[in-house]
Structure 1
């Protein structure tokens, strides 16, 4: 159940990505995401796709794990595709009453969906191959120069990582509530889609209540460990760039430059 949530989980597979410095992964992923946002030609989409597939293979995370993680956003992807296919003006391929599907709409919708999938997979590779504490430490080190301007870098990095980690936690709590209702003879899966959406409304209150309880317990645990504002704290694990980090960063930079050149050259 909880493994259907792609973002926020960590899977130990002893791959190359697991050995990378978290700062390398953060900078590389952000750089790749920015380059993916500028994808415009068919060749650039093909290059980006093969690169992401290569990253998935190198991560050694089972492929079916990624598929289960993408399932929750299938509705959003389908809606995005249909919306662009119907509401984009152009050469009409099929029409029914006031609904018109255009060639340009299909092309734009496919590219939007393709891009969203690539971005989700990139984000998932980061969280699946990096422990939350390592991610927080790497983010804190990257943002360290901002602390001279009075920015609470330590608190900000911890807040981001906790928010990411809470995604599968909330999903687990939702599964427990649904399982408890099913044990009482109330199965939401047998209901029609409109009734199922309406049935989820009463679940929001206990879900919010348990989420607030977990957040409160987490705050008590942080206070009990005298974390404070995080400033001046040392770490047992020291981050240090290795040769593999320079190779990985160079590969990410090369792909970003290639995609940018394809965008400028319209290839």
Structure 2
């Protein structure tokens, strides 16, 4: 999985994500979610414990807004018999089905995102965008430089906090104190960020970086047969899921039942 071209992998994940957003039944996103789960653990070296650590917090978040969707379902999907009443709300079988479908679609988006994030190197992804999609080198190298700065910002923030603590500056209390504390931290961090940006710009310019698209690359990113197989597998599995959902009469697109 990690050896798949990042651009092809992104397309293979983006297409199912968009198409799943059109469905409002339970069967289609549930089957594809199971497929993504199997592919993630079967074709990658991601441990299940690590994957579930990232996935589990989103389940609680999705459960909360699915409950809101259950109570505020539009008239288009508010069909079926009434299951129970809650204050001024009536929960119907149609509303429950839409809420579950929304939760499963959201979980599919998260599973697809984790599949991409946990198996893709950021540097290779930027290089692939530059070589396969002809993205401007100014954008790709700028994003890479900013991405590399993120860990240093956390370290500098820890250093600032320790320096303030040594000098007897206690943690701020109240809204006004927190605003002042934010100023004490943000100004030095911003000054250091500007200095680093200038150093990186000077270093890139001294090494002949002009931002031209026609340039040689030390790491060449190519699209191989394996990449096309992965793309076909991800999109083909979704189309097969749509087909079986249509065959059994489950397929629902924007409230219109098919099959």
TM-score, length-scaled by structure 2: 0.68
Change (3 A) 1:93 1:132: same
Is 1:254 aligned to residue 233 of structure 2?
no
Q: Equivalent residue for 1:136?
A: 126
Greater Cα offset, 77-86 or 27-36: 27-36
| 1:19-168 aligned within 5 A | 19-57=3-41, 58-70=43-55, 73-74=58-59, 76-88=61-73, 90=78, 91-144=81-134, 153-158=136-141, 165=147
SS in 2 for 1:18: coil
Listed one character per residue, the Cα deviations across residues 31-82 of structure 1 (whole Å, up to 9, x for unaligned) are 2222322334333223311221122212221223233324554564133212
Q: Using the alignment, how far apart are the partners of 2:149 and 2:88 within structure 1?
A: 40
One of 213, 218, 222 as aligned partner of 1:240: 222
Aligned length: 234
Q: Is the 8 A contact 2:26 2:97 kept in 1?
A: no
Q: Using the alignment, how far apart are the partners of 1:38 and 1:96 within structure 2?
A: 29
Shift of 1:234: 1.9
Q: Using the alignment, how far apart are the partners of 2:108 and 2:187 within structure 1?
A: 31
Shift of 1:243: 3.4
SS in 1 for 2:85: strand
Q: Is the 8 A contact 2:66 2:102 kept in 1?
A: yes
Change (3 A) 1:116 1:230: farther
Which structure shows the bigger proportion of residues in helix conformation?
Answer: 1
Q: Is the 8 A contact 2:153 2:189 kept in 1?
A: no
Shift of 1:258: 1.9
Is 1:217 aligned to residue 217 of structure 2?
no
Change (3 A) 1:71 1:251: closer
Shift of 1:246: 2.9
Alignment root-mean-square deviation, CA: 4.2
Q: Which has the larger radius of gyration?
A: 2
Listed one character per residue, the Cα deviations across residues 72-93 of structure 1 (whole Å, up to 9, x for unaligned) are 5456413321211111263443
